[in-house]
Amino acid sequence: MISVVEEAKIGILCWETGQVPKGLRQLESLVGNSTNPASYEYPVRLNPVRGANVHTILEKPDRAVLLTMIADAKLMAAQGIKAITTSCGFNAVFQRDLAEAAGVPVFTSSLLQVPFARQLNGPTSEICIITANAEALSPTHLRSVGIASQDGLHIVGLEQCPEWNRMFAEPDTEINLDRIEQEVLATARRALNTHPGIRAFVLECTDLPPYSAAIRRQSGLPVFDFISMVNYVHSSI
C-alpha cells in the first residue's frame, strides 16, 4: 500500500515572527488555537506576514501590511494553496481587498459566520460576538464581512478582563491560562445574563476556540469560531 502525504490546501496569514506577545504565544500552545497545527485534522500552511502585529492589524489597520498580505496570498495561491485565511479576526477589515486580489477563496475572519448563525434562528435573532477588543471592532469591520445591520448583535470584548489585558499591557510577561479561561467564560455568562435572547455565540478572536466547548456546555447554545469556519471551508475544497 502506497502512503500518500496530503498537501496543505489552507494557507493562514499570521503575525510576523517575533511580534507576538508572550501570553499569546502561550495560547498558541492550546489545541484549537489558529496557529497550532494540532488544531487541524489536515495540514495547513502558516505564513508569517512581515509587519503584521497587534498595532498594524488590531489597533490601526495598516494598508502597507495589507499589500504585503496580498503579495503573500498570491504567492501561496501560485504554489497550490486552495483557500486562504488569517490568524486574527480583525483582518475582517481587509476581507474584500484580499478576496478580490488573491485568486483563490479568502476568509479572513470568523465574523463571516455571523450572517449564517443569525439565519439559523431567524433573520432578527440575537447573536453575541465575543471579541479580543470591542472598542476596536468597528462597523467597517462588520460591513466588510457582510454584516449589514447591528440590530440584535451584542458585541462584548475581553479588553476589560485583567489577565487578558495583561497580555498586551505586559507583552513580555507570562499569563495564567486558567484565569484566561475563567475570564472568557465569565464574559459569555454576563452577556447571556444581560441579553437572555441570545441564540448563538460567534468568537471573533482566533485564540478563543480552545474555550468553545466550555462555552457550549455553560450556555447550551451554538458556538461558532475560527476552527468551525476553517473546517467548513476545507470540506468544500
Q: In terms of domains, do 76 and 174 share one?
A: no
Number of domains in the chain: 2
Q: In terms of domains, do 123 and 206 share one?
A: yes
Using alpha carbons, list the distances in angstroms from residue 69 to 28, 39, 43, 116, 186. 21, 23, 21, 26, 35
User: Would 117 be classed as within a structural domain?
Assistant: yes
Q: In terms of domains, do 115 and 82 share one?
A: no
Tell me the average pLDDT across 63-91.
98
The residue with cell 483557500 is 83
Q: What is the CATH number of the domain that holds 17?
A: 3.40.50.1860
pLDDT band at 2 (very low <50, low <70, confident <90, very high): very low
pLDDT in tens, 7-60: 999 999 999 988 888 999 999 999 999 999 999 999 999 999 999 999 999 999
User: Would 5 be classed as within a structural domain?
Assistant: no
Q: In terms of domains, do 14 and 103 share one?
A: yes
User: Would 3 be classed as within a structural domain?
Assistant: no
Query: What residues make up the domain containing 134?
Result: 110-225
Alpha-carbon distance 123 to 226, whole Å?
A: 22
Q: In terms of domains, do 149 and 71 share one?
A: no
Q: In terms of domains, do 164 and 115 share one?
A: yes
pLDDT in tens, 209-229: 999 999 999 999 999 999 999
Q: In terms of domains, do 23 and 51 share one?
A: yes
From the CA atom positions of the chain, what is the Rg in Å? Answer: 17
User: Would 25 be classed as within a structural domain?
Assistant: yes
pLDDT in tens, 116-166: 999 998 888 999 999 999 999 999 999 999 998 899 999 999 999 999 999
Output the pTM of the full model.
0.94
